[in-house]
Amino acid sequence: MSSQAEWRELVDLDRLGAWMDERNLASGPLENAVRLTGGTQNLLLRFRRGDHEFVLRRPSAELQEVGGKTIAREARMLNALAGSRVPHAALIAACDDEAVLGAKFYLMEPVDGFNPNSPAGLPMPHAGDLDMRRRMGLAMVDALLCLHELDYRAIGLGGFGRPDGFHQRQVARWLHQLESVAGYAGWPGAGSLPELDRLARWLNDNCPQQCSPGILHGDYHLSNVMFSRKGPELSAIVDWELATIGDPLLDLAWLVVTWPDASGHGAGTIEVHPWEGFPAADELVARYVAGSSRSFEAFTWYLVLAAFKLGIFLEVSYARACAGKASMEHGRKHHASALRLFEGALSRIE
């Protein structure tokens, strides 16, 4: 099925237009509808109505039930971020009534920007300016600092997550994720991940007992941001589906373990070119430390946890590929990346 036919099955433009009429969201026909790239779990559809541009986000048909809960959480997060210094797409309206389009959805304003993780490489002027690329890296840290300094209760996110016991739940939760694909045909199993049990024990034995909770994006890396077309600033942090209330230092650790090496290759399928000029991971941490009052005494634990979680996440993707449920090309890359992440985590605890 073509992507054009697929989105038309998921979005009835006449019903969407009627719903928008009830909320006085522009007027006239919905025109120039184009599906945007942005993963397989959700549909992103950009369209015009009158003088206004909109982007609709709803779950795919396969993930409609669990995706609906995620969509509602994303909309709540974007609404809470309104007026803050955190770069994000502005929420226009959200719909919890699945009778309209068959699933929950929301409308947001389009983001004028680009994602740096592109096979085509960075655009100009970024591709031709070493200093601009350095400032792009630092801008990612500055955006995190803005996010993490927000008082989540004051902006309406009380109850959005369970910060109590956040650290203590992590290892068991992610081991359960790995166990959930144990029966997938063709997958060699968790035994290929180096010293999985040792890393799990170390994380449990060295777990911080408390933290200063805040908003956690949950998947903060170069594939989930958009940069200004004119300069190094972030236009938006995107894909808030894993956001919760937890320990914000895990976002910084996640950024570090996904950050590309000298060749421009990062975790999973992250790849940025040209890479020369971007700051090293240590400089990202130093930038955050300089702007934060949080304790970094146990930061190694966060780095190990980030590698552990992401390694399992990528290995689950590989298991799905082995079973024919996802691209094997990406699956092999994810498996190789998972091995590197686990090896890096082991080196940190030795």
In this structure, are residues 320 and 270 in contact, taking their beta carbons and an 8 Å threshold?
no
Q: What integer pLDDT is reported at residue 61 of this predicted model?
A: 74
Token look-up 């970094």 returns: 296
Domains and CATH numbers, the chain: 5-110 (3.30.200.20), 114-347 (3.90.1200.10)
Give residue 39's pLDDT band: very low, low, confident or very high (50, 70, 90). Answer: low
The region of weakest confidence among 4-8, 28-32, 72-76, 87-91 is: 4-8
Is 118's pLDDT higher than 90? no
How far is the C-alpha of 219 from the C-alpha of 73, rounded, in Å? Answer: 15
Give residue 162's pLDDT band: very low, low, confident or very high (50, 70, 90). Answer: very high
Mean pLDDT, the chain, integer: 93
Give residue 2's pLDDT band: very low, low, confident or very high (50, 70, 90). Answer: very low
Give residue 60's pLDDT band: very low, low, confident or very high (50, 70, 90). Answer: confident
Q: What integer pLDDT is reported at residue 147 of this predicted model?
A: 98
In this structure, are residues 272 and 240 in contact, taking their beta carbons and an 8 Å threshold?
no
Is 171's pLDDT higher than 60? yes
How far is the C-alpha of 163 from the C-alpha of 161, rounded, in Å? Answer: 6
As a whole number, mean pLDDT of residues 117-139 equals 96
- Dihedral sign (CA 60, 65, 66, 70): positive
Percent of the chain with pLDDT over 70: 96
**pLDDT tens, 269-283?**
899 999 999 999 999
Percent of the chain with pLDDT over 90: 87
Count of helix runs (H) and strand runs (E) in the chain? 11, 9
Give residue 69's pLDDT band: very low, low, confident or very high (50, 70, 90). Answer: confident
How far is the C-alpha of 350 from the C-alpha of 334, rounded, in Å? Answer: 25
Is 40's pLDDT higher than 70? no
